[in-house]
Amino acid sequence: MIQIKQLKKVYRTDEVETVALNAINLMVEKGEFVAIMGPSGCGKTTLMNILGLLDEPDSGSFIFNGIEIAHFSESQRVQLRKQNIGFVFQNFNLIDELTVYENVELPLIYTGHKSSERKKMVTEVLERMQLMHRRSHYPQQLSGGQQQRVAVARAVVNKPALILADEPTGNLDSKNGNEVMQLLTELNEQGTTIVMVTHSEHDAKYSHRIIRMLDGQTIMENILV
Amino acid sequence: MIINYLKIAFRNLLRQKAFSFTNILGLSIGLACALFIVMWILDEFSYDRFFKNYDTIYSIKVTRTFDNTKNTDGAVAYPLTNAIAEKIPQVKYAVESTYPSSHVLAFNENKIKKTGYQVSANFFKLFTFPFLQGNAATAVTDPNSVVLTAATAQALFGNHSPLGKLVTLDNQQTYKVTGVIADIPHNSTLQFDFVIPYSFSPEDYQHVANDWVNAFNLGYIEVLPGTNIAALEKQINQLYKQNNPNDDAKTSYLLQPMSEWRLYSDFKDGKNVGGMIDYVHLFSIIAVVILLIACINFMNLSTAQAEKRAKEVGVRKTLGSDRASLVFQFFMESFLMVCIAFVIALLLVYLLLPSFNLMVDKQIKLPFANAKFWLYAVLMIVFTAIVAGIYPAVYLSSFNAATVLKGTFKASNKLLAPRKLLVIGQFAASFVLIVATIIVYQQIQHARHRDLGYNPNDLIIVSSSPELDNNYEVLKQQLLNTGVVDAVTRTTSPMTEIWNYSPAPDWPGRPQNNNFIVSAMAVGSDFAKTTGARMIAGRDFKEGSIADSTGIIYNKAAMDKMNLPDPIGKQVKFFGKTFTIIGVMDNIVMASPYKQVDPMIMLFYDNKRPGFVDIRLKNGVQPQNAIPKIAAIYKTLNPAYPFEYKFADDEFNKKFATEELIGKLTNIFASISIFICCIGLAGLVSFSIQKRFKEIAIRKILGASVWQIIELIAADFLKLVAIAIVIAIPITWWLMNGWLNNYTYHVTIQPMVFALVAIVMLLITLIIVGLNARNAATTNPATVIKSE
């Protein structure tokens, strides 16, 4: 599904040049659950942003579902992203002004689903996440675990092929954290490819394969399954 | 999708109450101002449009040259329009009227003083005033007919039908009512209460119909569609030359279309130089400036909020929103805000309209049924929403999702530059308006407190009549006997107007090239005593002095032109008669208080034309006590006329009406603009403080005092306001100097005004910053650091 070759990304300020990704190579097969680990500043988040088409590489190749997309335009990336990728963030990133229901509905609006379809899909995913009773609440009225469940619901409502999770349990206690990991595992079992950045060895164990990064490069792979 | 945007917009609006309130308040006030100005301008442009043949009506203007100066006015000789109607086939109707004048209309015991014209027979064919009763085509064909407005008819006849009834004019001639027209709308250039046809005795007509020299009528024509106006003007000029080949005033006629009557009434050197249209332009600019100031608030506050909205932008982008739909979303928010502000603005306008009408002396109504008004309203909303909303929308939607969601997003400092520029623009505009207001005010005060050369206070002016003129000596004596009156004189025109101009009398030894025009007035005895005018040499006219009927008094301005040593006793020739100079009077300001006094002559009052009686009250006498006594005498000697009086100082003050209106309006708009600037500034300051809360706390921990912190924050804003002032000063100077140059008698702009306004503006800024910063500066820094 994802094939990255010699991908480079450099951040420049007036005085400093920081190499975030240094000719990195990475393959993710369809249906895989991959965890990316590494110390702060090793380039995990940059990699995630490029995988999520939020950022573009300076050089190298990025093939997504067989298509070279390294030099896609902004609008092409938007198209690809909204149909294929769901995001789960450490700090949930729900929109405070929208209710649980409306937050989950948002991706469907952008992909142009009809209102009746949206209602069906949102209800379905909220029921699956046991959030129906909370659908009219605003994010700040929910616990951290509940908020992350909403975020996961929002990430999967469009049935994306790929979910990118950036430290999804980072702001949660262990009980809520486990619940979220369970949820991701279930999604993976149902066929969704998952790439997750984490600092937690515990969480990483839910994955099939752990990629360890340092200084913008992959240094090691542990295959768990 | 749109519903989703509106939903978010509404919730944001409710959540950020202070932000929404500030924005909507500024926008509502800005829009209300703009609405008022639009309504005022629409009203100015609506003048005379109710006439059916608006597009084909022209007034005849005449330029005459005296003393190398071109004067343009509407006075045409009586035979002109008849000749035009007869000789020029493209002209459908050519009519004329006299200048408006006041007359007493009477029906039985009912007497009212009203203003009217004498008009030619086709008057109502050209001017399609709607007739409520009677026939427009024939209403003024009979010389003894009169047409009344509905209000005049109501005042004379109550609810009885006026048609066919006889009305007495000035206690002399009777006229039969042949028509009643609807009251003249306020937006008509022609304003009158009644009209009567011209009527002359056969011998008078013989004279008038062939008099191409004296001009005392106003002429109007209606042309056939498609007429070439330039060619027509040429024809009219030729026609005039054929009839008055010895014209020494180099008379030249031009035609002014009805659409220009109201707004382009001023002429200089024979060319149109605008008029009211200048103020239409001025206020259009002010409307746009105020709206822009409100829009700038909106932009600044919206972009200052960037960090709050950044997360939403990031999330929406990751969920697949493209830039365009984000721009659209933020634009919808602005649009919603502008719509709410517009509704509030309409409400404000509705509530304040009566006061506004009173101030601008109009009868404007909110034109809800007028499609054009709504078109302007929609344009205004769209304009405001675009100007206010596009920039924040483009800026907010530009955030990079990756950085925003990483949590490392800080609104870029790049944005500070445009935001600063906008603040500078706002304050510069306000500075211009405020200084302009002060200079307009100074100019009015300057002219108002000018030495008029006479004392207009406690000087009562009463219209005279033929009866009163015949009994003048008795009137004067009785008035003096009341004990409240100090002196009495009479004049052919009121003290605050000049009605007659003519070439200066010829004097012995006059150089060939010394021709000039004088204003002329006939005055009774005790003129200087009554009015308080100062005699520089010689004496005032004396009662009973037969010699005075050939006496002449010059003013100082005339003497300066004549250069005549020892003028008293010298003889001059005026219209074939010899006059002896009996006095030289200091200049008295009768015409524009902004202009130099013209050369003037005064002759002794003869009884041929009734004018005005001027009454000087004794020192310390209360006018309200004096008026009944004067009225009683007036009524016994002049029973046919209602007693009406005016105070010279009131009449003089009326000369400031336009400038005062302009002064008042700029004052209001300047106050509003600075107010909107201030609320915007307050918003920006509070955002800036929020952003720097942690910095402030750390500085306090390190020992900064409250004042040092206020200083720290104020410095940024004071700098901006100072730059604005520096930019605004030359602009203001240039604009106001241009305006003042319209007046010969004007103030010079004093640097002190700039300095004062600058100081006040900087102080206001400091106060706004101080009030906002106090809270931050006095918060316990420990709590701030902990919560970070």
- My answer on whether B172 and B212 are in the same domain is yes
Q: Cβ contacts of residue B333 below 8 Å, gap of 6+?
A: B5, B8, B9, B12, B13, B389
- My answer on whether B190 and B95 are in the same domain is yes
- Reduced DSSP (H G I as helix, E B as strand, rest coil) percent helix, strand, coil of chain A, to 5: 35, 30, 35
At B288-344, the pLDDT tens digits run 888 888 898 888 888 877 777 888 888 888 888 888 888 888 888 888 889 999 999
Q: Please give the Cα distance from B538 to B527 (Å, whole number).
A: 13
* Selected residue of A46, A50, A80, A109 to mutate for chain B interface (largest B Cβ count, 10 A): A109
Sketch the domain layout of chain A as residue ranges.
Answer: 27-56+69-223
Under a CB-based contact definition with an 8 Å cutoff, are residues B506 and B573 in contact?
yes
Residues 7-26 of A with CB under 8 A from B: none
Checking B248-254 for CB contacts under 8 A at 24+ apart, the result is: B249/B64, B249/B65, B249/B66, B250/B64, B250/B65, B251/B62, B251/B63, B251/B64, B252/B62, B252/B63, B253/B60, B253/B61, B253/B62, B253/B63, B253/B76, B254/B60, B254/B61, B254/B62, B254/B63, B254/B72
With contacts defined as CB-CB under 8 Å, which chain A residues touch B322? 74-75, 78
Q: Dihedral (C-alpha) B129, B132, B136, B140: value to the nearest 10 degrees?
A: -100
With contacts defined as CB-CB under 8 Å, which chain B residues touch A154? 319
Taking only Cα atoms into account, the Rg of chain B, rounded to an integer number of angstroms, comes to 34
Under a CB-based contact definition with an 8 Å cutoff, are residues B558 and B607 in contact?
no
Q: How far apart are the first and last CA of chain B?
A: 37
Nearest to A75 among B311, B314, B322 (CB): B322
Q: Which of A185, A2, A182 is nearest to A84 (CA)?
A: A2
B296 within a domain of the structure (yes/no):
yes
Position A54 scores a pLDDT of: 80
For residue A182, the one-letter residue type is Q
Q: Cβ contacts of residue B260 below 8 Å, gap of 6+?
A: B272
Q: Which pLDDT band, with edges at 50, 70 and 90, does A144 fall under?
A: confident
With contacts defined as CB-CB under 8 Å, which chain A residues touch B311? 93, 95
Under a CB-based contact definition with an 8 Å cutoff, are residues B570 and B580 in contact?
yes
Please give the average per-residue pLDDT across B451-462, as a whole number: 91
B652 within a domain of the structure (yes/no):
no
Q: Which of B277, B430, B357, B262 is nearest to B661 (CA)?
A: B357
- My answer on whether B682 and B782 are in the same domain is yes
At B599-612, the pLDDT tens digits run 999 999 877 677 89
With contacts defined as CB-CB under 8 Å, which chain A residues touch B307? none
Q: Which pLDDT band, with edges at 50, 70 and 90, does B761 fall under?
A: very high
Q: What is the DSSP letter of B546?
A: G
With contacts defined as CB-CB under 8 Å, which chain B residues touch A81? 318, 320
Nearest to B312 among A49, A74, A95 (CB): A95
Pairwise CB contact (< 8 Å): A95 & B321: no
Pairwise CB contact (< 8 Å): A110 & B325: yes
- Please check the confidence at residue B477 and state whether its pLDDT lies above 50: yes
Position B553 scores a pLDDT of: 94
- My answer on whether B730 and B693 are in the same domain is yes
- My answer on whether B109 and B23 are in the same domain is no
CB contact A81 to B (< 8 Å) = yes
B351 within a domain of the structure (yes/no):
yes
The phi-psi region of residue B563 (left if phi > 0; otherwise alpha if psi is between -120 and 50; otherwise beta) is left
At B194-204, the pLDDT tens digits run 999 998 888 88
Percent residues over pLDDT 90 in chain B: 40
Q: Across B61-70, B427-436, B663-672, which has the greatest mean pLDDT?
A: B427-436
What ipTM does the predicted assembly reach? 0.71
- My answer on whether B228 and B282 are in the same domain is no
Under a CB-based contact definition with an 8 Å cutoff, are residues A195 and A187 in contact?
no
Which chain B residue lies closest to A112 (C-alpha atoms)? B1
CA distances from B300 to B396, B431, B627, B688 (A): 12, 19, 61, 11
Q: How far apart are the CA of B37 and the nearest CA of chain A, in angstroms?
A: 38
Q: Cβ contacts of residue A168 below 8 Å, gap of 6+?
A: A88, A89, A90, A148, A151, A152, A180, A181, A184, A196, A198, A203
Q: Please give the Cα distance from A116 to B242 (Å, whole number).
A: 88
Residue whose pair of structure tokens reads 């005062």 in the numeric block = B660
CB contact A45 to B (< 8 Å) = yes
Considering only residues B417 and A25, tell me which one the structure prediction assigns the higher pLDDT: A25
Please give the average per-residue pLDDT across B542-555, as a whole number: 83
Position B534 scores a pLDDT of: 93
At A57-106, the pLDDT tens digits run 899 999 999 999 888 887 788 888 888 998 888 888 887 778 999 889 88
Please give the average per-residue pLDDT across A52-57, as a whole number: 85
Q: How far apart are the CA of B406 and the nearest CA of chain A, in angstroms?
A: 8
- Look up the domain containing B537 and give its range: 466-640
Which chain A residue lies closest to B2 (C-alpha atoms)? A109
Q: What is the DSSP letter of B365?
A: -
Pairwise CB contact (< 8 Å): B318 & A45: no
With contacts defined as CB-CB under 8 Å, which chain B residues touch A75? 322
Position B179 scores a pLDDT of: 95
With contacts defined as CB-CB under 8 Å, which chain B residues touch A102? 4, 7
Please give the average per-residue pLDDT across B347-356, as a whole number: 94
CATH homologous superfamily of A27-56+69-223: P-loop containing nucleotide triphosphate hydrolases (3.40.50.300)
- Please check the confidence at residue B788 and state whether its pLDDT lies above 50: no
Pairwise CB contact (< 8 Å): B320 & A87: no
Pairwise CB contact (< 8 Å): A45 & B323: no
Domain boundary (B199, B234, B261) is at B261
- Please check the confidence at residue B128 and state whether its pLDDT lies above 80: yes
Please give the average per-residue pLDDT across B686-691, as a whole number: 80
Q: Cβ contacts of residue B403 below 8 Å, gap of 6+?
A: B409
The rounded mean pLDDT for chain B is: 87
Helix, strand, or coil (residue A101): helix
Q: How many Cβ pairs within 8 Å bridge chains A and B?
A: 66
Say if residue B121 is exposed, middle or buried (CB neighbours under 10 Å; 0-12, 13-18, 19+): middle
Considering only residues B369 and B559, tell me which one the structure prediction assigns the higher pLDDT: B559
Residue whose pair of structure tokens reads 């929002």 in the numeric block = A154
Q: Which pLDDT band, with edges at 50, 70 and 90, does B156 fall under?
A: very high
- My answer on whether B248 and B303 are in the same domain is no
Q: Which pLDDT band, with edges at 50, 70 and 90, does B563 fall under?
A: confident
Q: Report strand pairing: A162-166 vs A85-89.
A: parallel
With contacts defined as CB-CB under 8 Å, which chain B residues touch A74? 322-323
At B522-544, the pLDDT tens digits run 999 899 999 999 999 999 988 76
Stated as kind and residue range, the H or E segment containing A5 is: strand A2-12
**Chain centre distance of CA B566:** 45
Taking only Cα atoms into account, the Rg of chain A, rounded to an integer number of angstroms, comes to 17
Q: Which pLDDT band, with edges at 50, 70 and 90, does B345 fall under?
A: very high
Pairwise CB contact (< 8 Å): B405 & A102: no
- 3-state per-residue secondary structure call for B53-85: CHHHEEEEEEEEEECCEEEEECEEECHHHHHHH
- My answer on whether B36 and B87 are in the same domain is no
Strand ranges across the sheet with A33-37: A85-89, A162-166, A193-197, A33-37, A209-214, A217-223
Percent residues over pLDDT 70 in chain B: 96
Angle at B350 between CA B346 and CA B353, to 5 degrees: 125
- My answer on whether B306 and B243 are in the same domain is no
* Selected residue of A50, A53, A54, A158 to mutate for chain B interface (largest B Cβ count, 10 A): A54
Pairwise CB contact (< 8 Å): B315 & A81: no
Pairwise CB contact (< 8 Å): B320 & A107: yes
Tokens coding B206: 């013989």
- My answer on whether B250 and B388 are in the same domain is no
With contacts defined as CB-CB under 8 Å, which chain A residues touch B320? 78, 81-83, 107, 110-111
Pairwise CB contact (< 8 Å): B320 & A98: no
Q: How many CA atoms, within 13 angstroms, populate the side-chain half-sphere of residue B333?
A: 31
Q: Which of B587, B611, B593, B614 is nearest to B458 (CA)?
A: B614
- My answer on whether B432 and B471 are in the same domain is no
At B77-103, the pLDDT tens digits run 999 999 999 999 999 999 999 988 888
Q: Which of B594, B554, B573 is nearest to B741 (CA)?
A: B594
CB contact A141 to B (< 8 Å) = no
Pairwise CB contact (< 8 Å): B1 & A109: yes
Helix spans in B533-577 (H) = 556-562
How many residues can be counted in chain A?
225
Q: How far apart are the CA of A12 and the nearest CA of chain B, in angstroms?
A: 14
Domain count along chain B: 3
Position B397 scores a pLDDT of: 86
Pairwise CB contact (< 8 Å): B318 & A81: yes
Nearest to B323 among A74, A96, A106 (CB): A74
- My answer on whether B70 and B130 are in the same domain is yes
Helices B751-778 and B706-740: crossing angle in degrees, nearest 10, is 150
Q: Please give the Cα distance from B301 to B377 (Å, whole number).
A: 24
